[in-house]
Amino acid sequence: MVSVAVTLGRSAPPAGAAPVSSCDTRLAEDPFTLDAMPGLPAPAPEYGPGASDVDTAPPTTPVQEQIPARYRRMADDEVHGRITAAKAALGSAVVVLGHHYQRDEVIAHADVTGDSFLLARRSLERPEAKYVVFCGVHFMAETADLLTRPDQAVVLPNLAAGCSMADMADLDAVEDCWAQLEQALGRPLDVPGEDGLVEVVPVTYMNSSAAIKAFCGEHGGIVCTSSNAAAVLEWAFARGRRVLFVPDQHLGRNTAKAMGVPADLMPLWDPRKPMGGNTRQALVDSRVLLWRGWCSVHQRFTTAQIDAARAADPSVEVVVHPECPQAVVDAADRAGSTEFIIKAVEAAPAGASLAIGTEINLVRRLADAHPDKTITCLDPVICPCSTMYRIHPGYLAWVLESLVEREQALAAGAPESELGPVVNRVVVDDDAAAAGRTALERMLAVVP
């Protein structure tokens, strides 16, 4: 039985209840209206239709240049036909990667689907691909650029596809945090003491910018994913007295709690406040310093939603992502990464009932793929990952046909230097790339 009983959009809280985030009412609109138009001032950056209305995009958020009108006006059948034809023309020279949270119309054209790091790793398995078209968000494309060869071009169909969580930890704020911690602890943070331990090991979630990954690489730190966070924290604890976990407080808290770290040794670092809003003693006593950041989709899930799911069906199994708040993870039957959730649904017997706490496009796809099971989403009013939603098939058709034109020009003898840059190519600068790659390689060494 397919059951995804959700409403996309805005709902008012009950009378007297605290305000809650809701979805942008423009969800049904195409994202083209947010692009920068030639000859006009660039629009203010925003995450786009479907975003939680409590998320504000920083001024540094990229803005996509308007694509040609024909791609914005194409009928669905035509755009999908042109994507298919362009992929056929490019052959093995292109690989299209699609994140699980993408809309179905994009996933239909993906050569590989998966979570952010699985996709980046899969790009390594296509050495013949000259172009890696990443249907995801900006930090994912950056990670792919760190892992692929310099002669492979990583392309993001819409440069405005960012990540609000990644934006919650910018380099200036993290460097300021590091300086304040050094002052509070009274010594350099990444120099081993007599016991061989450093004061703080920085750990960044994959959902962060290349600049933050580079910061971790430079200071003896490491990257983690939602599936290997516990193993990475073990690695960090073997090398330091404390961990600075950036940018997702919920993944850090849920993982450390499961490893036995008490709540009072996990202070929250609020970058808007001196000392992160903590006393010096709290920082000295800490084991895990949690950055004040979160995923706007997963933060919406609540224990009340779990209670409602169980009241509706006492046999339901609740499976949530560890980016959800601690109370939600504690109340759920199981918690795990996107790949964990997919495997949990696949392994469930026919007739099983599962309530899922993660992004709605994935939940819908799981429901469609398993009609013999009842698959529901915990949140009745869903905000999709709005920045994933910025990847419309029109942008995918545009970048693929641009690559076809480039390859045709090269085949005709045009010098590559005369063709200009690859459209929407994402490139991490050399300095950040070296240190960011170091942090990723440390993670790969921990979890092959």
Per-residue burial over 178-208, b = 16 or more CB atoms within 10 Å of its CB, e = otherwise: bebbeebbeeebbeeeeeeebbbbbbbbbbb
Contact 165, 296 (CB under 8 A): yes
Indicate the SS3 state at residue 243: strand
User: Where does 167-296 sit in CATH, by number?
Assistant: 3.40.50.10800
Q: Where are the domains of the chain?
A: 62-162+388-428, 167-296, 298-382
Rounded CA gap, 163 and 134, in Å? 14
Rounded CA gap, 74 and 58, in Å? 32
pLDDT surpassing 80 at residue 386 = no
Angle, helices 338-347/360-369, rounded to nearest 10 degrees = 20
Indicate the SS3 state at residue 171: helix
Rounded CA gap, 51 and 410, in Å? 41
pLDDT of the residue at 358: 94
What amino acid occupies position 376? T
The closest alpha carbon to 35, from 69, 65, 68, 70, belongs to: 65
Q: How many CB atoms lie within 10 A of CB 103?
A: 18
Please name the residues in contact with 71: beta carbons below 8 A apart, sequence gap of 6 or more: 79, 394, 395, 397, 398
Cα torsion angle, 117, 118, 124, 129, sign: negative
Q: Look at domain 62-162+388-428 and name its CATH class.
A: alpha beta
pLDDT of the residue at 17: 33
Encode pLDDT of 307-327 as tens digits: 999 999 999 999 999 999 999
Encode pLDDT of 270-318 as tens digits: 999 999 999 999 999 999 999 999 998 899 999 999 999 999 999 999 9
Q: Across all residues in the chain, what is the average pLDDT?
A: 90
What amino acid occupies position 200? V
Structure tokens at 441: 């390689």
Contact 316, 353 (CB under 8 A): yes
User: Where does 298-382 sit in CATH, by number?
Assistant: 3.40.50.10800
Rounded CA gap, 395 and 96, in Å? 13
Q: Can you give the length of the chain in residues?
A: 448
Encode pLDDT of 87-146 as tens digits: 999 999 999 999 998 989 999 999 999 988 788 778 788 889 999 999 999 999 999 999
Q: Is the pTM here over 0.85, yes or no? A: yes
Rounded CA gap, 285 and 264, in Å? 9
Same fold: 167-296 with 298-382 = yes
Residue 66 region by backbone torsions, left for phi larger than 0, else alpha for psi between -120 and 50, else beta:
beta
Rounded CA gap, 100 and 106, in Å? 10
The closest alpha carbon to 177, from 244, 125, 120, belongs to: 244
The closest alpha carbon to 153, from 139, 136, 132, belongs to: 132
